[in-house]
């Protein structure tokens, strides 16, 4: 079978960035790094529009969370591969040395600024929704603002957790942030369809209080002590919101910080 190769963005594009590394995690997930425009400032957790030129030479752009922290010299992205997806059917074949388009206008609500001060920060994700948290767990500011950080990430199968697993593992040995993270970051990966050490949906593990027991920390979340960031499908986000609001947390925004913030990890079919 011959696979369509992406056309690199033309060098004349002012927003072209060069891919420096690509890693495939599963048949449906990959990550890549690219150069960072010198002028690009962003807050860990924000997203940008990235893409390729389409067959007619027009930019084909999609929203992507920046998975690298704001101090990194390069940018990292963590991506789904949608077989018939306009962008990712081609982006998944990108190679180091090729170019992508990156619109340098970062935005988003999964930022520390959109939360009121608190003691514990919960990051709740499914699938590629871990991307903004891959940025935030590598940012020292997260640990300056919170005494404890809990990352709950759920996927159907174990291999889909590998990106997060490796990232959190590498954090402990990181010369810049390893010491800061020690004892503060609790990582709680679970699967729902393949047996693994820890199982269950984020929503079920919160509602049943299993996560508090497993981690040996106080529960449930409370609006004085706890802050949360949520990133998954629309259904996941809606179900988590119901739980958080049941515990008295209110949704915040850049303009009005509160106890939790939400962003969708993708726009679903027919929406």
Site string for ligand FAD, 74-93 (x = CB under 6 A): ----xxx-x--xxxxx----
Kindly tell me which residue out of 203, 228, 244, 252 binds ligand A2P, with binding defined by CB under 6 A.
203
- Shortest Å distance, C-beta 128 to ligand A2P: 9
Cis-peptide into 220, omega within 30 deg = yes
Q: Is 33 helix (H, G, I), strand (E, B) or coil?
A: strand
Which entry of ligand FAD, ligand A2P, none binds 79, CB below 5 to 8 A by partner kind?
Answer: ligand FAD
Cβ closest to ligand FAD, residue 13 vs residue 63? 63
230 contact partners, CB below 8 Å, separation of at least 6: 124, 125, 236, 237, 240, 241, 244, 260, 261, 262, 263
9 contact partners, CB below 8 Å, separation of at least 6: 15, 16, 52, 53, 59, 99, 100, 101
Give the whole-angstrom CA distance, residue 193 versus residue 159. 12
Which entry of ligand A2P, ligand FAD, none binds 82, CB below 5 to 8 A by partner kind?
Answer: ligand FAD
Closest CA to 43 of 120, 102, 106: 106
Name the one range near ligand A2P by CB under 6 A: 8-16, 56-64, 149-157, 167-175.
149-157
Which entry of ligand FAD, ligand A2P, none binds 207, CB below 5 to 8 A by partner kind?
Answer: none
Question: Which tokens sit at 43?
Answer: 């807050």
Kindly tell me which residue out of 47, 122, 146, 188 binds ligand FAD, with binding defined by CB under 6 A.
47
Helix (H) or strand (E) holding 52: strand 47-53
Cβ closest to ligand FAD, residue 61 vs residue 228? 61
Q: Is 39 helix (H, G, I), strand (E, B) or coil?
A: coil
Q: Which of residues 227-266 bind ligand A2P (CB under 6 A)?
A: 233, 235-236, 239
Which entry of ligand FAD, ligand A2P, none binds 236, CB below 5 to 8 A by partner kind?
Answer: ligand A2P
- Shortest Å distance, C-beta 190 to ligand A2P: 8
Which entry of ligand FAD, ligand A2P, none binds 235, CB below 5 to 8 A by partner kind?
Answer: ligand A2P
CB atoms within 10 A of CB 228: 27
> What sign has the CA pseudo-torsion 267, 107, 243, 250?
negative
- Parallel/antiparallel/unpaired status of strands 226-232 and 120-126: parallel
Which entry of ligand FAD, ligand A2P, none binds 131, CB below 5 to 8 A by partner kind?
Answer: ligand FAD
Give the whole-angstrom CA distance, residue 130 versus residue 152. 9
Token pair 């913030």 is at which residue?
Answer: 261
Question: Which tokens sit at 1?
Answer: 């079978």
CB atoms within 10 A of CB 54: 14
Cβ closest to ligand FAD, residue 101 vs residue 211? 101
Q: Which of residues 140-199 bind ligand FAD (CB under 6 A)?
A: none
Residues that bind ligand A2P (CB under 6 A): 126-127, 154-156, 192-193, 201-203, 233, 235-236, 239
Residues that bind ligand FAD (CB under 6 A): 47, 62-65, 78-80, 82, 85-89, 127-128, 131, 263-269
């Amino acid at each position: 079978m011959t696979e369509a190769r992406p056309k690199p963005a033309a060098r004349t594009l002012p927003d072209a960035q060069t891919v420096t590394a690509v890693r495939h995690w599963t048949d449906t997930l990959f990550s890549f790094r690219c150069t960072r425009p010198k002028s690009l400032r962003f807050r860990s957790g924000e997203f940008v529009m990235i893409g390729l030129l389409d067959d007619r030479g027009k930019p084909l752009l999609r929203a992507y969370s920046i998975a690298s922290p704001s101090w990194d010299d390069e940018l990292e992205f963590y991506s789904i591969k949608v077989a018939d997806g306009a962008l990712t059917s081609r982006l998944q074949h990108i190679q180091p040395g090729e170019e992508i388009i990156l619109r340098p206008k970062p935005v988003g609500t999964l930022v520390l600024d959109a939360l009121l001060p608190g003691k514990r920060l919960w990051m709740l994700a499914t699938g590629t929704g871990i991307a903004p948290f891959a940025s935030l767990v590598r940012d020292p500011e997260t640990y300056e603002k919170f005494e404890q950080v809990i990352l709950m990430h759920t996927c159907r199968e174990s291999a889909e957790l590998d990106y997060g697993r490796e990232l959190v593992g590498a954090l402990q040995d990181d010369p810049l942030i390893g010491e800061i993270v020690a004892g503060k970051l609790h990582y709680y990966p679970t699967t729902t369809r393949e047996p693994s050490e820890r199982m269950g949906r984020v929503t079920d593990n919160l509602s049943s209080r299993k996560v508090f027991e497993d981690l040996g920390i106080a529960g449930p979340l409370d609006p004085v002590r706890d802050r949360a960031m949520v990133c998954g499908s629309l259904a996941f986000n809606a179900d988590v919101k119901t739980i958080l609001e049941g515990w008295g947390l209110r949704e915040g925004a850049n303009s009005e910080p509160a106890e939790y913030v939400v962003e969708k990890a993708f726009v679903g079919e027919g929406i």
